[in-house]
Every structure is written in structure tokens, then in C-alpha cells.
Structure 1
């Protein structure tokens, strides 16, 4: 919920004869409309995953995304810190063991507290919450069904769809659905997943494989092609190189063909190497699919009311105002075509939508220069264009890339390898040298990039950055020293 100011309270909207003045927000989307004194309802229902995992109010980020992911990443970082601590004089008893159940319980309890917080916030904003699964009956009517089949009908003047996405299963792989899990399940496991195969090379795959390795589990990543598709590929290669040195195994240019359950209850996976054509097998305790996400829109009956979607991706087509092909129906977040699949962009888009509808504002969401971070063991943060995209947009002769390897001070006493600690800045090759993109691999990459993102959003140039005094001794300071160009060799 994005509402921050309370509005005038009105009775909840119920029944097929209700007036069409109020707003209904379909499934866990932003509810800033309530801040403008409108009558608002929100529908949020979690369809259990194939293994049966379900969760509470708050959407993917809170329950099966950013929040539990970052906390488990932190657990892995603490494990690395314990190894470093000996070099700094701490007497750490060995061997050190990680307890999955204790970590999982703590993370899950925190997530449940956030679920409760969202319920309270909805109540504070006078938003009526329905734990029902909604679908369109007509362009102004939502039919909601409870788990027990009880029906609720809501009508509304305006409707916002914000259902997000769910992980895909490779249903062409025998045994994938029966025996595999996804990130929807990993964060809610009560017991350790043990020896794990993570299939896919997305940021979700690498983040999960990274923290599983970091807490001491035997972890393998199976990659069909390239890692971190859509990200700068030089940086992506450094991320996976570090993960390999960190202990994660990689099966490159491999695709799974079947998963079978053995008498021991372990899972035997057969895969094919696309280069050699050979088949191999190994057994695992857990197989996690991280092969992409699909918009959770199939049950909404969008075709019934004329909401157009991309036939290939299934995503809803929206304009700059987040409006669908039906004038009073809007969509925000991961379900919309061509938008970043990031929680903060969905929240910001929802707030601006509410302001345009009811707050007399005409401001549109700006999706350029959105910063993000991949929370792999060595974090990768970026904002703006990748080097490949900059070359595509402006031509290689018109861009300048400043770059440097560096060693974090924290790594020195602990004698940690800093081979993959690297940063680069992509600039336009002109007098002002406007910064097009900034990429950073190293500790606390998200914190580093968040600060520089403001300057880049404001059109910062390379000379301006060189006039910025660094904070010594930090990793971020190294960005203010960038002076070597790739062009120089």
C-alpha cells in the first residue's frame, strides 16, 4: 500500500447495485487513491504454488522477493565475515555451522509482521480489504471468489490491475512440476534445501544460488546461455566468475531434460550439453526453477472486457498514463509491457496514477535511469545504460568508457581476492561528456549506486563527477577517481 495521507472515510463498496463513483483496486496494488478521499477496495489473493506454498498480504517483494532475499543474502555475508574476523583478531571456534531452520523462522516471522503492518495500514486509510480472487464480469464489475467459493461482487468507476508475476515452470521438462520448486517456495522452506540445483541464469537464480552457497550448501547453477540477460554482459561475467571462486558450481550451455525421484527421495536430474550434445546426470536434494516469470493475469478475464495484452508475453499493454485499452482500467507493475520489473517503479507509478486521477497532477512516470542491484555474493549495482546498449544507441565512436579495478580496504587485512571488484562509467563522447550509465561490482553496491543515481538522473557529466570529493576510505570513493578509458587500451 502506497497511501501516506488519510482521506475521508466512506462505507465499503459492496453489492451489484453499488454506485460507480468509487475506485476498486484489483489485487494488492497501490492504494494512494484513498489519500484523496475516495472509496477504495483492494482485492488480494495468493494462489498457492504447485508445492502448496502460500503467504499473506503485501505482494511478491514482501513475501517471496526482495525482503526475504536480502535477509538471506545478509545471512551469507555474515558467514563470510566470520572467516574474515579471524584475520582481525577474533577467535572464532571451528567448524562454524549454519542453522537453516533458525534463519528461516526469523525471516518468516519478520515477513508475517509486514503482512500485519499492511493490514493495519489499509484499515488506517479506510481501504476495504477482500481476501478473494477477482476477475472481470464486465468493464466496471469485479467478481471475487473466496477459497470456499463464496462470491463477492464489486463495481467501480475506475479499476487498477496490479497482480504482479509468478515464476514459470519448464513444463516441457518431465518431472519439473512434480518435483521442482521456485523462489515462491524457497523462502518458506522450514528445513534446509540441502544440495541444490538452481536452473536459470536470471538475477533471481544467481542471488538464490549465491546465498545458498554462502550458508554452506552444495549449490549448482545450470545456465542455458548467458547470465543476467539485459544487464551489462562484462559485469555479468565478473559476477559469475566471483561466484565460481566463492564455491558455486556452474553447468554452462546445459538444458535439463528430466527430473526423477529416487528411492532415497533425492532428485535425479538429466541434462544435455548443447555444445557437445552429451547427456549427464546427478542427484540433488532440491531443484529450483528460476527460468523466468509470467504475468499473473490468466484468471482475470481480460479478453472479456477488451483489455489488450501482448500475445507473446501476456503482459498488459499500457500507455504513458498506465491506461489500458479500456479507458477506465489501468495497470501498473510487472504485468505491464515494457516496464522494469522492480517494486519501487510499481509503487512510484501507482502513486503518480492516483495523483493524475484525483490529485489534479499531470506528472507521468519516468522510467529512465532507474537504479537497481543484483544481490549476489559480490553485489552488482547499476543505473542507466549498459555498455552494449550505449553502443547500440549512439555508436561506439560516440561513447567513452572510464573503468577501473579496485581493492576494498576491508579485503586487505583479510587477504580476500578482489579480482572481480570493478567499476565502469559509460559517457557520451562530447564536450560535456554526459554520463549514460554507471556500473559497480563490490560490497554494498546498492548503497553506492543509490547515491550516484540522483546525479545521473539530473544529467550529471564526467567533469562534474571529477569535481566531486570522495569519502575516504570507501569503495564509492573510487568512482570519483575514474580516469582510464577503454579507448586508451
Structure 2
């Protein structure tokens, strides 16, 4: 190994955590390298997750609108047909363009991009096996791990890529399944289920818990369940998979609810029950980097440093929601700390979004969490049926729910199910970041007619609660 440091920072992984951290590190004057084993930059999010799934969600929504709703607006389309091959090609083009942009972004900031598989040889040294060429060792002052996560494989539900599939496989079907089974009622399963339902599949969701969207506000979860059932989802809640057997024709699944078994048959079975941190073969055990025995997460301190000095970890590798924007925020905070600045992430103000239609978005505490903490609180809700813009669009399902502290009026959480919820939540995140009260939102002038007026109305509804009661 060279006597001097080749780099100030070597980042392993180029997803939303890794590439954002690399850019910020370069901006702060750190000589930075980013190692990525995949042929394209961007990690799971850009290549196999957030971006391709949203591309298909948008395309399938256009198809569904053409089939069922455009006529209501006076738009006559004639016979509508599906060209799945073109839809998939468009998705790939979107991914290719965005991953290409990530490469240009890193190159413009003089970040060294190394294509290969990396592991920590020792503190201050990263061993790289390039996709092409000879092995090399990178000498560095700091190492940042940002390798992301992979789908969990439950016992007896091993992926075969054809019949029993993971979320990546479900983005690449070459035909619309007649009947798609989904194990898991979380955001990934519901989003991919929405894609294939719109394109003509029958979709059955098998969820072990009594509700979908674990972690959602209860009122929002119940509303989403009702709307998705109305769209055609077959929801099997409180149900677990006992066994699954794939054949050339499909997948035979035995499920159990209330000690009663039932046999189901699907063309394909999507298993989406969570994700696990990708820590294997990074050299963590050899260096005694501490991890959580139950979850596999790497344990870090407030500066995202692991139990070994000079080695850091962010994103899906560390505790917290597995969200791309959470990883990006942590990447920035970690490298700012490395550069001698103050970096911090406010975990109370991280939004989450489910891109079904209507969309679901939330930030802060749910009503159930507020009750569990025994906090005095007031709730204001407003339905999209009362929003002029929603009426014009013909999308009136859902509501905005704002929870404020009963004594201080500070916003504790906002939960939205409805059109454009993914974009509306940004105002709520900003409000919570600045410690706003519901009155602040209520008194803020919102454009008319907009979906955001429903948020203002919900904030006004909070005022009807006795927030100044002793």
C-alpha cells in the first residue's frame, strides 16, 4: 500500500446515498472515489426500484385513464390496446437517461468512478476487484459504506425469477399475468400490484397483519384498503402463506387464516415482505464492525461512524426507514461531518410516499403514535370532495389529516391520501422542519384552485379543537 493517502474518501455504492455523498464530498474539497459493482450507477433505486417502478406506474395510469376515464372528459379514443414491449422500453430509457446523468454528475465534480467489487481490507484501505483489469487497493482516510439492500427471501419462498419473483423481476414481466399473487401488503407490493392490475391482471394481496401499509396512520390505511378493493384488489388480511410450489404452469399456494387453510393458484407470485441490508463480503466481520444481530443493520453513532474509526455507513445499511431520500440526507450529513462541519438529519421530518392511485404520503407521528405517547392532540381533516381542483380533475377520493399538539398547536404529523399527495407532503415536511403550528398553515394563503387548499382547510379544522384548553 502506498505510503500516502490516495483519497480522502472512498465510497462503496453509487445509489442515492453513495452518489449524493460523493458529490457533496467533492464540493467540500475531499478527493473522492466511488466504487460500484453494477454496470450502471444509481444503485437499486435508479435501476431496480424507485425509478423504473414509477415509470411503469405512470405508464399504466395513462393506459387505465384511456380505458376508463378519458370518455368522461369528452375524449374519445376508440379501441385502446396495450403494447407492453414499448412500455417496458420506455421504462428502460428513463432508467438509462437518469443513470447516465448520475455518471455525468460525478464526473463533473471530479469524483473517480471505479467499476468493480469492493471490500474493506483494513481501516484506510479498500480492496477492489475491477470488472475489468487487475485487483487494486485504494488508500484512503475515510470509508463510507452505501451498498443498500436486497429483498428478503422467506423460508419456502425462494425466488426462481420466473414464477416466484422479487420486486426486480416484477418490473420485467414480458406479459401481463392473468392472476398475480403478492405476499406482503407494504408499499412495494401495493405499487407493483397497481401496475399489473391496471394492465389487466387479477391481483391478490396476502398480508399476515390485519392491515395494509404497516406504519401508516390507521385512518389512512383503512381508506387505502377500501379504495384499492374498489379498484379490484383482492385483499387477504390476517393471512399467512403456509407453502408455495412453482410449476411450469404457475404457483400453487396454501394460505391460512383463523386456522383454516385454502389453496390458491397464481401465474406468478411476487414476494415482497421487506428488505435486508447488503453487508455480505464487505469485510465487516474481519474488522469486527458491530451490527444488529436481529436486523443485520450496521450500528453507527450520530456522525454515522461505525464501531471502527474511519469507517462510516448510511442508508439501508443503518437503522431507519429504507427510503432513497433518507439515504441521501444521511450521505450529506456523514461527509459534512468528515469534512469538519456539522451534519444532521431530522428523522422526525422524513416523508414517506406510496405511489398507488390515489397516492399516500405522510410525515411525522400517526394518530396511533400520538395516543401511545399520551400527548394531548387535536385533529383536523378535510376531504378532497371539497377541493375545487380535485373536482375539476375528477379525482375526489381521499383526505388530508393534520395532527397538532393540543396545548402548543405545533404540527405533530400530516397524513394525506389523495391526488398529488406525493407533492403536497413537501409543504408539510417544511412546516415540521421549522416547528410550525397548524395556525401557521391555516393563515398561509394557498393558490386557488389547488389540491393544497385541502391542507389549508384541514389546518383550519384543527382550530375548532380547544387547543388552548388547560
TM > 0.5 fold call: yes
Give the root-mean-square deviation of aligned CA atoms: 2.4
Secondary structure of 1:365's aligned partner = coil
1:62 and 2:46 correspond: yes
Report the Cα distance in structure 2 between the residues aligned to 1:204 and 1:434, rounded to whole angstroms.
32
The corresponding residue for 2:429 is: 453
1:348 to 306, 329, 338: 329
The corresponding residue for 2:126 is: 142
1:375-414 equivalent positions in 2, closer than 5 A: 375-395=355-375, 398-407=376-385, 409=388, 412=391
How far did 1:62 drift? 0.8
How far did 1:72 drift? 1.4
1:21-60 equivalent positions in 2, closer than 5 A: 22=7, 23-28=9-14, 29=18, 30-31=21-22, 32-46=24-38, 56-60=40-44
TM-score (norm 1): 0.86
1:181-192 equivalent positions in 2, closer than 5 A: 181-192=165-176
Report the Cα distance in structure 1 between the residues aligned to 2:153 and 2:134, rounded to whole angstroms.
30
The corresponding residue for 1:304 is: 286
Report the Cα distance in structure 2 between the residues aligned to 1:43 and 1:194, rounded to whole angstroms.
41
Deviations 1:235-293 (A, max 9, x none): 1121121111011222222222333333xx32122222231422312132x21111100
1:434 and 2:410 correspond: yes
Deviations 1:349-407 (A, max 9, x none): 2123222222x422322222112211012111111111111112234xx1111123331
Report the Cα distance in structure 2 between the residues aligned to 1:33 and 1:470, rounded to whole angstroms.
38
Residues 174/114 of structure 1: CA separation in 2 closer, same or farther (3 Å cut): closer
Moved segments of 4+, more than 6 Å: 174-178, 413-416, 485-488
1:235 to 199, 220, 228: 220
Report the Cα distance in structure 1 between the residues aligned to 2:161 and 2:108, rounded to whole angstroms.
41
Residues 122/465 of structure 1: CA separation in 2 closer, same or farther (3 Å cut): closer
Secondary structure of 2:94's aligned partner = helix
Secondary structure of 2:316's aligned partner = coil
Secondary structure of 2:200's aligned partner = coil
Residues 427/77 of structure 1: CA separation in 2 closer, same or farther (3 Å cut): same
Report the Cα distance in structure 2 between the residues aligned to 1:127 and 1:194, rounded to whole angstroms.
47
1:114-133 equivalent positions in 2, closer than 5 A: 114-133=98-117
1:268 to 251, 257, 260: 251
Contact map agreement 1:160 1:330 (CA 8 A) in 2: yes
Contact map agreement 1:425 1:435 (CA 8 A) in 2: yes
How far did 1:447 drift? 1.1
How far did 1:319 drift? 1.2
Contact map agreement 1:171 1:177 (CA 8 A) in 2: no
Residues 112/190 of structure 1: CA separation in 2 closer, same or farther (3 Å cut): farther
Contact map agreement 2:147 2:279 (CA 8 A) in 1: yes
How far did 1:194 drift? 4.7
Deviations 1:22-77 (A, max 9, x none): 2211122120222233332211114xxxxxxxx62111211112111221111232
Report the Cα distance in structure 2 between the residues aligned to 1:18 and 1:218, rounded to whole angstroms.
62
2:345 to 365, 377, 400: 365
1:328 and 2:274 correspond: no
How far did 1:229 drift? 1.3
Report the Cα distance in structure 1 between the residues aligned to 2:149 and 2:357, rounded to whole angstroms.
25
Moved more, 200-209 or 136-145: 136-145
Report the Cα distance in structure 1 between the residues aligned to 2:230 and 2:112, rounded to whole angstroms.
51
Secondary structure of 2:45's aligned partner = helix
Secondary structure of 2:317's aligned partner = coil
Report the Cα distance in structure 1 between the residues aligned to 2:242 and 2:92, rounded to whole angstroms.
33
Please list every run of 5 or more consecutive structure 1 residues that lacks an aligned counterpart in the other structure: 1-15, 47-54
Residues 413/154 of structure 1: CA separation in 2 closer, same or farther (3 Å cut): closer
Secondary structure of 1:459's aligned partner = coil
TM-score (norm 2): 0.89
**How many residues get paired?**
454
Report the Cα distance in structure 2 between the residues aligned to 1:363 and 1:413, rounded to whole angstroms.
44
Report the Cα distance in structure 2 between the residues aligned to 1:247 and 1:282, rounded to whole angstroms.
18
Residues 357/84 of structure 1: CA separation in 2 closer, same or farther (3 Å cut): same
Deviations 1:98-126 (A, max 9, x none): 22211111111221122222222322222
Contact map agreement 2:389 2:450 (CA 8 A) in 1: no
Report the Cα distance in structure 2 between the residues aligned to 1:469 and 1:185, rounded to whole angstroms.
46
Secondary structure of 1:183's aligned partner = coil
Secondary structure of 1:447's aligned partner = helix
The corresponding residue for 1:91 is: 76
1:135-214 equivalent positions in 2, closer than 5 A: 135-146=119-130, 150-173=134-157, 179-214=163-198
